[in-house]
Amino acid sequence: MRTGRLVRLVSRPAQRVPDPGDVELVEVDVRDPAHGEVLVRNLYMSIDPGALLRMSDLSALDIPHFETGEPLWSDAVGEVVESRYEGLAAGDLVWHRYGWRDYAVGDGRQFRRLDPHAYPSLSHHLSFGVVAYIGVELARIRPGDTVLVSSAAGGVGSIAGQIARLRGAGRVIGSVGSPEKVRFAVETLGYDAAFDYHDGIAPQIGGELDVYFDSVGGEHLEAAIDALRPRGRIVMCGQTEQVRSGVPTGPRNMLTVVGKRLSIQGFYTFDHPELMPKFEEEFTHWVRTGRIVVPETVVDGLENGVDAAVGQLTGRFTGKVVLRF
């Protein structure tokens, strides 16, 4: 019998960040695949705010949460070890949602075969380029627009700024959490300007925004509402400030949204399957031709997964965070 490790939820964390004992890494038997199933050895998995959000019971999110006693899950890529599903064969590389475990066994239809040559790295299949792409599509960028992106050096933000530029934005501004990330945003990601939000947000944004790509909410959102032009657009990808602090936050200036006729669009990536074919085509082309860089931080070892998820939320890393098994 094959054995492998997995991470499971023992109890829901009282805060957003799990205490030792809320999750455990255990060694378990790995069953053989039944008819129609595959057995996959995981190679990379996504480390993203979803893990901490799914541990919590935030009902406003309208997403499935982890169950206590059950393994965590997340986007992952791996190699088929054994297949009893006619659509896949041993050696195929696949994308699926059974992260947080060394081996995944399940219905073959839940595993999508990957083109190993699509991107320079297999881990790029876990990029949040798709989130950025959909958010920028919904923002309806017009040539010359001034666009603000928060968490601009993060998994979503590092790509959102680059796509906004490719869609014709005239000026792209990034908000980040350290001087090193300011340099990274400008020099590597091509932001026209970037600032460290710890030095104040509103004065550094300036005025005259057309679009705000929001990953953090709170103080950033309030400042952006003041800085947006009439009929400006906000696409709301996440609310990290509130998630991190656990405290509901502003903005206090919602009347300005009415006065300026602003639009605010929250979105989930999985609600937009109609955009996927165009995304696949354009994004792989941009990455292959060097028009977009896909920054990532690779953390090694499933035993470091929970610590990496906490570090990801608190700004310890740059770009998309992936765990290598």
Ligand X SMILES: NC(=O)c1ccc[n+]([C@@H]2O[C@H](COP(=O)([O-])OP(=O)(O)OC[C@H]3O[C@@H](n4cnc5c(N)ncnc54)[C@H](OP(=O)(O)O)[C@@H]3O)[C@@H](O)[C@H]2O)c1
Residue ranges that bind ligand X, judged by CB under 6 A:
48-49, 128, 131, 150-151, 153-157, 176-178, 181, 197, 215-216, 237-238, 240-241, 244, 267-269, 312-313, 315
Minimum gap (Å) between residue 97 Cβ and ligand X: 13
Q: Which 8-state DSSP code applies to residue 60?
A: G
When computed from its CA atoms, the radius of gyration of the chain, rounded to whole angstroms, is 20
Minimum gap (Å) between residue 304 Cβ and ligand X: 17
Minimum gap (Å) between residue 240 Cβ and ligand X: 4
* Residue entry with tokens 């590597």: 188
Considering beta carbons, is residue 216 or 302 the nearer one to ligand X? Answer: 216
Considering beta carbons, is residue 83 or 162 the nearer one to ligand X? Answer: 162
Considering beta carbons, is residue 71 or 315 the nearer one to ligand X? Answer: 315
Residue 268 to residues 82, 114, 131, 236, Cα–Cα distance (Å): 33, 23, 8, 9
Minimum gap (Å) between residue 155 Cβ and ligand X: 3
Considering beta carbons, is residue 103 or 128 the nearer one to ligand X? Answer: 128
Minimum gap (Å) between residue 74 Cβ and ligand X: 11
A 10 A CB-CB count for 81 gives 17
Report how far residue 191's alpha carbon sits from residue 302's, in angstroms, rounded to the nearest whole number.
34
Residue nearest to ligand X (CB): 238
Minimum gap (Å) between residue 220 Cβ and ligand X: 6
Q: Which 8-state DSSP code applies to residue 229?
A: E
Pick from 104, 56, 39: nearest CA to 76:
104
Residue 213 to residues 34, 87, 119, 231, Cα–Cα distance (Å): 45, 39, 25, 15
Minimum gap (Å) between residue 142 Cβ and ligand X: 23
Considering beta carbons, is residue 10 or 58 the nearer one to ligand X? Answer: 58
Considering beta carbons, is residue 56 or 150 the nearer one to ligand X? Answer: 150
Considering beta carbons, is residue 154 or 232 the nearer one to ligand X? Answer: 154
Report how far residue 15's alpha carbon sits from residue 12's, in angstroms, rounded to the nearest whole number.
9
Considering beta carbons, is residue 80 or 132 the nearer one to ligand X? Answer: 132
Minimum gap (Å) between residue 185 Cβ and ligand X: 9
Strands (E), 85-214: 93-96, 103-107, 112-113, 146-150, 171-176, 193-196, 209-214
Minimum gap (Å) between residue 102 Cβ and ligand X: 23
Residues in the chain: 325
Report how far residue 164's alpha carbon sits from residue 136's, in angstroms, rounded to the nearest whole number.
6
Considering beta carbons, is residue 98 or 197 the nearer one to ligand X? Answer: 197
Concatenating the DSSP letter of every residue in 245-309 gives H-S----S-HHHHHHTT-EEEE--GGG-GGGHHHHHHHHHHHHHTTSS---EEEEE-GGGHHHHH
